[in-house]
Amino acid sequence: MAECEWAVICDYAFLDARGKMCLIGVFDSIFAKTVPAIHPQACLVVQLRGKPNEPLLIRIEIIRPTGASLRRVDASGQMSESGGAGLQLNLAPIQLPDWGEYDCNVFVNDERTYTAKFTVRKPPAGGPN
C-alpha cells in the first residue's frame, strides 16, 4: 500500500529540467503581528512511495489549532513505474485565522500516513515580520 514518505511546507516548489523536486524556503513557523493573517506564498510538497503503477486516492486536510478544518483537497492518480509519486499543492495565499499549530494531514487511500506541521506565532522583538 502506498504511503507518504515525507511532506514539507515551503515558499515555492518546482520540478527542474531533470524531474527533480526543488524546494525554496522550507519553514515550520509563520510570524504574524495579528490574526487573522494572510501568508502570501506557501506550498505543501508530498513524496509518496508504493507499488509501481498503484492507483491512488489522496486527500490533504489542513487543520486549525482549534481542530476545525481550514482547507481540504482531494486528488487521484497513480504511482510511477518506479513506485514513487510527488505532489505539490499551492496554498497561496493562505488565510490563517488562529495563533498556534496547524496540521497538514496527508491521507493515502483514506488512511492518514503523514502530518506536516507549522505554527503561527507573534514575531520576536526585533525579529522577522
Q: Is residue 129 part of a domain?
A: no
CATH of the domain at 9: 2.60.40.2550
pLDDT per residue rounded down to tens, the chain (129 residues): 899 999 999 999 999 999 899 999 999 999 999 999 999 999 999 999 999 999 999 999 999 999 999 999 999 999 999 999 999 999 989 999 999 999 999 999 999 999 999 999 999 887 655
Q: Is residue 93 part of a domain?
A: yes
What cell was used for 73?
A: 483537497
Domain count, the chain: 1
User: To which residue does cell 504574524 refer?
Assistant: 32
Q: Is residue 127 part of a domain?
A: no
- Distance, CA of 113 to chain centre: 13
What is the model's pTM? 0.92
Q: Is residue 67 part of a domain?
A: yes
Distance between CA 4 and CA 91 in Å, rounded? 19
> Of 44, 69, 70, 68, which is closest to residue 58 (Cα–Cα)?
44
